[in-house]
């Protein structure tokens, strides 16, 4: 018989393997389906393609997915950059420059995590219209930062609270002002939190459907989730082409996670420490 420790480890591996199959198979199925013809997609939905049609990716790209991909990457990258700068600055100041009411201010920021984003669609739409920002990327840029800000501040605040105060004091002795202390010492140390916020916000923004649907109407501004709807007609749809477009859509997120995954666990663990 196997020792208890080895038995437990085998059981854990089996559970993880089962979870991997359940969560990974949809992507594998989508990848395989992207190389089939639409006829074979329905005739043999679970099998390997009889003929691998790489042309599906060329067709999906030429059908306009490239423009939608560029729009999504454009708004996502600028929103994430703005989010990282705003959240780390606020988290740094609240964690190192406590003032009367700072805890209340932090609580108000964190309260934002309890507000459903879709409950604000009507007032945001009205505001965008009044500010002449409707059907522009600005109508997406600021809401994306605002609704991802509470969690980002929570992680940044918890992380900066754990950095020894002596490090900042040494920087002040060396002649650094508050901005130099932040950008030269605190910001470089915050890689785990930056990676975690980047992954979470990148995923949320890239996959958001409702906000672009409400806030933009021009085809030239539509993002990937909206662009995928263009591949479906009123009476029929080329699902193999849609599968190829979906693979193209998910590739940037997979690449992003592959590069930053080693920081994510550290960022969540460090940023969630109770201050």
List the structure tokens of 256. Answer: 């992003």
Residues 135/218, Cβ–Cβ less than 8 Å: yes
- pTM for the model stands at 0.78
The residue ranges of every structural domain in the chain are 64-271
The alpha carbon of residue 49 and the mean position of all alpha carbons in its chain are separated, in whole angstroms, by 32
pLDDT number for residue 236: 60
The count of C-alpha atoms lying within 13 angstroms of the C-alpha of 71, restricted to the half-sphere facing its C-beta, is 25
Residues 35/50, Cβ–Cβ less than 8 Å: no
> What is the residue-level pLDDT of the chain in tens, covering all 275 positions?
445 567 777 888 888 888 888 888 888 888 888 888 888 888 887 888 888 888 888 888 887 788 888 888 899 999 999 999 999 999 888 888 878 888 888 888 888 888 887 788 888 899 988 988 898 889 899 899 988 999 899 888 888 888 888 888 888 888 888 888 888 888 888 888 888 888 888 888 888 888 888 898 888 888 888 887 777 665 567 778 888 888 888 887 788 777 777 666 655 555 444 44
List the structure tokens of 59. Answer: 């067709």
Q: Which CATH class is domain 64-271?
A: mainly alpha
pLDDT number for residue 4: 54
Per residue, the 3-state secondary structure of the chain, as one string, reads CCCHHHHHHHHHHHHHHHHHHHHHHHHHHHHHHCCCCHHHHHHCCCCCCCCCCCHHHHHHHHHHHHHHHHHHHHHHHHHHHHHHHHHHHHHHHHHHCCCCCHHHHHHHHHHHHHCCHHHHHHHHHHHHHHCCCCCCCHHHHHHHHHHHHHHHHHHHHHHHHCCCHHHHHHHHHCCCCHHHHHHHHHHHHCHHHHHHHHHHHHHHHHCCCHHHHHHCCCHHHCCHHHHHHCCECCCCECHHHHHHHHHHHHHHHHHHHHHHHHHHHHHHHHHCCCC
pLDDT digits (tens, 9 = 90+) for 203-240: 888 888 888 888 988 888 888 888 877 776 655 677 78
pLDDT number for residue 239: 79
pLDDT digits (tens, 9 = 90+) for 112-146: 888 887 788 888 899 988 988 898 889 899 899 98
Chain length of the chain: 275
CB-neighbour burial class of residue 62 (10 A; exposed 0-12, middle 13-18, buried 19+)? exposed
Contacts of 2 (CB under 8 A, 6+ apart): 10
């Amino acid at each position: 018989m196997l020792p208890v420790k080895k038995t437990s480890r085998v059981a854990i591996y089996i559970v993880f393997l089962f979870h991997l199959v359940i969560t990974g198979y949809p992507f594998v199925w989508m990848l395989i389906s992207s190389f089939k013809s639409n006829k074979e997609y329905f005739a043999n939905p679970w099998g390997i393609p009889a003929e691998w049609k790489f042309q599906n990716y060329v067709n999906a790209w030429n059908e306009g997915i490239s423009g939608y991909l560029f729009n999504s990457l454009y708004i996502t990258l600028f929103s994430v950059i703005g989010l990282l700068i705003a959240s780390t600055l606020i988290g740094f100041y609240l964690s190192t420059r406590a003032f009367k009411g700072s805890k209340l201010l932090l609580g108000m920021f964190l309260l934002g995590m309890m507000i459903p984003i879709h409950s604000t669609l009507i007032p945001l739409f009205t505001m965008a219209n009044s500010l002449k920002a409707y059907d522009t990327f600005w109508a997406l840029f600021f809401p994306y930062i605002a609704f991802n800000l509470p969690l980002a501040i929570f992680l940044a605040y918890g992380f900066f609270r754990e950095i020894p105060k002596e490090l900042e004091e040494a920087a002040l002795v060396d002649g650094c002002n508050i901005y130099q202390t932040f950008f030269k010492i605190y910001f470089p140390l915050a890689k785990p939190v930056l990676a975690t916020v980047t992954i979470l916000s990148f995923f949320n923004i890239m996959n958001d459907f409702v906000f672009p649907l409400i806030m933009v109407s021009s085809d030239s501004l539509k993002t990937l989730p909206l662009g995928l709807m263009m591949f479906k007609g009123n009476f029929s749809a080329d699902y193999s082409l849609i599968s190829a477009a979906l693979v193209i859509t998910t590739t940037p997120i997979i690449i992003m996670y592959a590069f930053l995954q080693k920081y994510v666990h550290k960022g969540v663990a460090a940023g969630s420490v109770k201050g």
